[in-house]
Amino acid sequence: MKLYFQAEIPIKIRFSDTDAMGVVWHGNYLRFFEDAREAFGIKYGLTYLDVYKRGFFTPIVKSSVEHKAPINYGEEVTAIAKFHPTPSAKILFDFEILNKSTGKLSATCHTTQVFLGVESREMELIKPSFYVEWEKKLGIKI
């Protein structure tokens, strides 16, 4: 059985999130995934600022999104981030956006992040030691 490390966060749709079709503009979903990733970081101690203090950025290098159903203004959604263990020096997440107002799955997403030295601006080819310890502490099986 696969056990997920995951976190979720409720998101209120802003009027400014919508477009002239009357639904949330597709590019704004990236903000919702960011919210879920940060909720995960807060829950498990891996926020953007935690990572930055250890000397790293973790930019997104790949993302793929599937839109299943539109989101209208006034609807409420839940963004879910599921951590996906990997042996490589990457951070992988699967995301879901659930539309609480309609009960429908609105979108799914997969992202790949790498470790970039704040000073060097070079990509790390092996996992930074602080990250290996973080995995160990959480009991993450790869």
What does each C-alpha distance from 4 to 34, 48, 80, 82, 104 come to in angstroms?
Answer: 18, 21, 11, 6, 22
Q: CB-wise, 63 or 78, nearer to a second copy?
A: 63
The number of helix segments (H) and strand segments (E) in the chain equals 3, 7
In the complex, the smallest distance separating the C-beta of residue 68 from a second copy, rounded to whole angstroms, is: 8
Cβ atoms of 113 and 51 closer than 8 Å: no
Instruction: Note the residues at the interface with a second copy (CB under 8 A).
Output: 12, 14-16, 18-23, 25-28, 30-31, 34-35, 38, 47-49, 57, 59-67, 70, 73-74
Instruction: State which residue, 45 or 74, has the beta carbon closest to a second copy.
Output: 74
Q: Which is nearer to a second copy, 6 or 113 (CB)?
A: 113
Q: For the CB of residue 38, give the shortest distance to a second copy in the complex, in Å.
A: 7
* Complex with a second copy: residue 112 or 140, whichever CB lies closer: 112
Looking up tokens 């981030």, which residue turns up? 81
Determine whether 95 is exposed, middle or buried from the number of CB atoms within 10 Å of its CB (0-12, 13-18, 19+): buried
CB of 20 to a second copy, least distance (A): 4
